Amino acid sequence: FPAVNGQPEKWLGGTDIEIPKSGLSWFINAIEQKFMKTEAEGGLRKGEFTYAKEIAGEKLVTSRWFGTPGYGLANASRNRYGSVTIKKQQEFCFTDEMLFDNGLLEELKVIASKIDNGEL
């Protein structure tokens, strides 16, 4: 993934994850509406750290990560590349620092808006 707002200065390693275009808005909404709200406000129940939904025929999963604080996005309908024998879902962890401190969530919102408006 590339630097966001110039931070960090260089590219970092990453992994491939493929999701339907509409999955980006779902991921953002999952963070903001399910993880950042209490159960009474419509968020996840206390003690739940995973939220999943089928989007365009593919099972997407968002989860809260704690070792490296952040949010995981997985596509349980697609296998990772690189191994013929081991089948694992595609997933990526977006750290809190990346999403909130370095502005990636705001950048993703811009992209999601363009997708939702048919511009991408």
Domain ranges in the chain are: 22-116
Q: Give the pLDDT mean for 100-104.
A: 93
The predicted model scores a pTM of: 0.81
DSSP state of 80: P
Greater confidence, 105 or 1?
105
Q: Is the peptide bond before 8 cis (omega within 30 degrees of 0)?
A: yes
Report the distance separating Cα 70 and Cα 58, nearest Å.
22
Q: Per-residue pLDDT for 8 more than 60?
A: no
Greater confidence, 5 or 37?
37
Greater confidence, 119 or 80?
119
With contact defined as beta carbons under 8 Å apart, do 40 and 76 qualify?
no
What would the CATH number be for the domain defined by 22-116?
A: 3.30.720
| Average pLDDT of the chain to the nearest whole number | 87
In the chain, pLDDT over 90 holds for what percent of residues? 68
